[in-house]
Chains A and B, each alone.
Chain A
Amino acid sequence: MRPFRSVRIHALARGLAVAAALALVAPALAADDEIDPVVARLQAQLAQLDRDAQLAGMGGVERLKAQQAVQALAIAKSKEYASAQFVAERRVRAAIAAAQADALARQSSELDRERDQIMVAAARRDADAARRDAERLRMQNLARQEEAERERVAAAETFALAEQAKADAEQARRLAASRAREAALAREEAELANSLVAEALAADAPLPPSRSVGPATVYTLAGSAFASGRAALTTEANASLRRLAMEIGGRNVEVVGYTDSQGAAAANQALSLRRAEAVAAILKESGASGSIRTDGRGAADPVADNGSAEGRAANRRVEITVR
């Protein structure tokens, strides 16, 4: 227990000091040699709270109430002391807790802002990724377009080459056709020239030797008109026959072929017929318009001796009977 007078004197002194302490006078109180240790402890707790930079400005109302309670304790009378200490102890404890709670509240708000920043950063990163994807797709699309364009150009070039080849082929075909026509015209011209020559030759050619048998005239085409064993006529014989055809006109004709006696009879018969038909064909194409009968009699009806070469030549003949 404190002496009553001492408490009163000290209470007065503390009262004055606390009045000044409203303007930060803890040191003034500390200067008091007989300061109440409880007050000193509580003051020290509040001073430590004030020094804590992280808690600066936190729990303002509770701090003020704590300071007031400590001041009240400092001037409390003896009978009020226990109650004032009870209040001051709790007010200081509440001030510390309130300041720390305020700091935690600020930290909580900062964490919310940090979360927002994370979300913004994530959204920005997603947007960047989306933009990169879009750019990549755009480049891929561009590459595909370029590839398609290259393929289109290549196809066009291929088509152009094919068209050119087709055009070349068509040109070649036309050239060939043109040359074929040219050749055909040349051939026709040659044939025409040949026929003109043949006609000219025919006009000047002598008629084959003839004899009269009753009303009919028999022309004899000598065996020399044919190559041996063949039915083709010499040029002179051909011209002579054309001349004869002009003489015959529309009268009926009988053409009979003969051979010499050499060789097989059947072969001779066939050769004589072929010679007769060759003669008939020339007569017909040269203007003989009447009926023309052909026959091949082989070695029959010889007109000379087959024992000699001259005789056999005479026997190889075609007789043209004009009626």
Chain B
Amino acid sequence: MTRNLPAGLAAAFLLAALLGGCASVPPPTAELDAADRAIRTADALEPRGPAQQALDEARQRLAAARDAASRKRHAEALVAAQQAEAAAAVAAAEARRATLEAEVDSKAARNAELRRRLLVQGD
């Protein structure tokens, strides 16, 4: 018994520590908010194609995070919120890149037209 007691205690502590560890993770409120802001930012950039898929993924992860948080599964909620923010970062960066690509193309064409109209044609 005496030999088993420490082992039993150890097992009990381990269980308590595992349960307590889960319970000790605070609600990831900041991460949820950060993910939410990142999604709003990406959404404002009107992503298309792969960026749109990344945004959808971010929304799914944020929904999962909120679901986990509502069930007090904070560690799971924290991970999902971080995933949601990372996916939203992809959506935002790629949407911004697509917008700037179009902008650069447009400006290059505009400059070529200006150069032709103002500098070449008039000479």
Contacts and interface: CB of A to CB of B under 8 A. Distances in A.
Interface of A: 59, 62, 65, 69, 80, 83, 86-87, 90-91, 93-95, 97-98, 100-101, 104-105, 107-108, 111-112, 114-115, 118-119, 121-122, 125, 129
Interface in B32-54: 54
A111 B89 contact: no
B122 interface: yes
Contacts of A95: 93
Contacts of A93: 90, 93-94
A102 B111 CA distance: 21
Given A86-B83, A91-B89, A119 B118 contact: yes
Contacts of B110: 111, 115
B82 A87 contact: yes
A108 B104 contact: yes
Contact of B100 (A94, A104, A118): A104
Interface string B89-123: 11011101100110110011011001100110011
B119 A115 contact: no
Contact of B114 (A69, A86, A118): A118
Contacts of B108: 111
Nearest to A61: B89
Contact of B89 (A62, A108, A115, A121): A62
Contacts of A100: 97
Contact of A91 (B86, B101, B114, B118): B86
A124 B122 CA distance: 13
Interface residues of B, number: 27
Nearest to B118: A122
B4 to A, nearest CB: 26
A275 to B, nearest CB: 111
B62 interface: no
Nearest to B50: A93
Contacts, number: 86
A62 B41 CA distance: 15
B87 interface: yes
Give the top 4 A-B pairs by smallest Cβ distance, nearest first.
A104-B100, A97-B93, A122-B118, A111-B107
Given A86-B86, A90-B87, A111 B111 contact: yes
A94 B54 CA distance: 10
B79 interface: yes
15 contacts: A69-B86, A83-B79, A90-B54, A90-B86, A94-B89, A94-B93, A98-B93, A101-B93, A101-B100, A104-B104, A107-B100, A108-B107, A111-B104, A114-B111, A125-B119
A97 B86 contact: no
Given A115-B114, A118-B114, 20 more contacts: A62-B89, A83-B83, A90-B54, A90-B83, A90-B89, A93-B94, A94-B90, A94-B93, A97-B90, A104-B97, A104-B101, A104-B103, A107-B100, A108-B100, A112-B107, A118-B118, A121-B118, A122-B114, A122-B122, A125-B118
Contacts of B86: 69, 86-87, 90-91, 94
A108 B87 CA distance: 26
A105 B96 CA distance: 9
Contact of A97 (B82, B87, B94, B118): B94
Interface string B44-77: 0000000000100000000000000000000000
A112 B107 CA distance: 7
A86 B123 CA distance: 59
Contacts of B83: 83, 86-87, 90
Contacts of B115: 118
Nearest to A91: B86
